[in-house]
Amino acid sequence: MLIVQGMSVHRAGRAVLEGVSFQVAPGELVALLGRNGSGRTTLLEALMGLLPWHGQVCWRGGSLAGLAPHAVARLGVGHVPEGRGLFSDLSVEDNLRLGERPGRGQRALGLAGAWALFPQLRERRQVAAGLLSGGEQQMLALARALVPGPELLLIDEPTEGLSPQAAQAVIQTLQGLKAQGVAMLVAEQKTAVALHCADRALVLRQGHVAFDGPPRDAGPLPPDVEGLAGSDAASAP
């Protein structure tokens, strides 16, 4: 289980997150909602060790404090960043091989598992990632994060820029992973999509938790959440 207590993150001398607390249980998909500048991307990056933070973060009974991103990944945490973070000049297969890690045991998906989960990628295995469609790139980003067999996935905007058909394929993949016991924290700009597949909604507003609970109990989302946007690198006014 992921347990976050009182997390605060400052960037350029400004508080982006302050006193954020929540939990994500095995097999639970938590939708991370909030307007541009609310702190969604910052939260995912901090959990992955990409940004310094204060507070307490426990994963599988141990603290993530002070760990570098590669050390967090070795503990079974996968990250699909906004923009996908692919190596556009490398082939589909080479991008996937970068996600391989020795010693991940039975949970590791491996290349064979990635091809089985995304057969379309197998057909394009020698194609440069930069030449794939948006939907194929999102599948590749997910597959690369899944290759080592993570138990927790941090996903930023999985359906951004995708066609309805491609977005539905990504959603079905997330639901399948949830059924396998993978915990997920998913920042999503399409509110209806996020709430449809989520077990819980976590709404951030100006760096604080405004709501944490079942989507059906959230009621109408605040006006500043309805128009969800992408990155939160800049703060809300």
Cβ-based burial of 213 (10 A; exposed 0-12, middle 13-18, buried ≥19): exposed
Indicate if the pLDDT at residue 117 is higher than 60: yes
Nearest alpha carbon to residue 84 among 171, 162, 201, 31 = 162
Cross-strand pairs, 19: none
- 121, 136 contact by CB (below 8 A): yes
pLDDT of residue 112: 83
Sign of the C-alpha dihedral, residues 115, 135, 226, 12?
A: positive
Indicate if the pLDDT at residue 216 is higher than 80: no
Model pTM? 0.83
DSSP string of 42-84, one letter each residue = HHHHHHTTSS--EEEEEETTEE-TT--HHHHHHTTEEEE-TT-
Task: Tell me what the mean pLDDT of segment 189-197 comes to.
Answer: 74
Superfamily per CATH, domain 2-215? P-loop containing nucleotide triphosphate hydrolases (3.40.50.300)
Average pLDDT value over all residues in the chain: 84
Indicate if the pLDDT at residue 158 is higher than 60: yes
